[in-house]
Structure 1
Amino acid sequence: MKVSFYVLSDSKAQDFLGFICQLTQTALNKSSQSLLILVGDDAELSSTLDEALWAQEATSFIPHQRLLANNTEGDDPEVDINKRLAPVLLGGYMPADFNGIVINTTAQPVNAFMQATSNAQPTRILELIKPDATSVQEGRNKYKAYQQLGYELTHFKV
């Protein structure tokens, strides 16, 4: 699996929501896969990002669906999650059958959000690292975790 780390400049970190929207749109333009923006239990980020995705540009929006907070979809679990939801998911957990791109905004590696009984198999992970000491340390910890799993790692300064 490929994991890309985006090390944000001060200006990109100041417009964190805008960068997430831009990265989401770029990923959608380059792939037909579903995309999950993983926010963990950060309800404030989830809410403000939800609004930002609907108003990404004056003439457009990024269609998305917020996942329920209680880790259940509320309907038939046999239905393929990748065919019944919007192309972009926003939530605090990894759906059991998810197999697309993950933008991770949390302090933990994506694997921490995958259940042992899950069939989730992300195809690519995009990690966002802000230029503060805490985020950099969290990024180093995630890098080591992914490295131990044998994932293909790249990083970009933006």
Structure 2
Amino acid sequence: MKISFYVLSESKAQDFLGFICQLTQTALNKSTQSLMILVDDETLLSTLNEALWSQDATSFIPHQCLSDIHPEATDYDANKSLAPVLLGSYMPADFNGIVLNTTTRPVTDFMAATNNAKPSRVLELIRPDATSTQEGRHKYKAYQQLGYELTHFKV
């Protein structure tokens, strides 16, 4: 699995939602895979949901919140969703697309709790503050120990 760390500048961190929308659109443009945005903060989930619908004055990014899916729909297939982007605090079973992780935990924690999820790529966001930097180092070490291919970009 490929893991890309995006170390955000102060200006990108100040427009965190804008950067997530921009990175989401870039990932969709470069891949045919679905994209899962992991969010464990309800406020961020709500504001990101709104931002994706109004990403640009002339466009939007179609997406679906996993909380909008009925819990009894256990046969839901994220890889065949009508929306190319999913938002939620968990990874659906058998998910094998791209994951944009906004949480403090490595994606492998979510994979352990999910049946057969095997993302092809993970995008990690690191804000320019001490807490986010420390969390990023923890994630980097966790992925490195598992032998994943790691890259980082300063944006």
Fold shared per TM-score above 0.5? yes
- Structure 1 residue 143 and structure 2 residue 140: aligned? yes
- Is the 2:92–2:114 Cα contact (8 Å) retained in structure 1? no
Give the Å deviation of 1:75: 2.1
1:124 maps to 2:121:
yes
Alignment of 1:1-158 (within 5 A): 1-40=1-40, 42-68=41-67, 73-77=71-75, 80-115=77-112, 118-158=115-155
Secondary structure of the corresponding residue to residue 155 of structure 1: strand
In 2: Cα distance, 1:80 partner to 1:4 partner: 25
CA contact (8 A) 1:67 1:73 kept: no
Distance 1:18 1:107 in 2: 19
Q: CA deviation at 1:85?
A: 4.0
- The runs of 4+ residues in structure 1 deviating greater than 4 Å are none
Task: Return 81-90 or 11-20, whichever deviates more.
Answer: 81-90
Please tell me the root mean square deviation across aligned C-alpha atoms, in Å.
1.6
1:40-95 Cα deviation digits (max 9, x unpaired): 2x1000000000000000110000000128x9643251x53311341000000011
Counterpart contact for 2:91–2:114, Cα < 8 Å: no
Q: Give the length in aligned residue pairs.
A: 155
Q: 1:68 is paired with a residue of what secondary structure?
A: helix
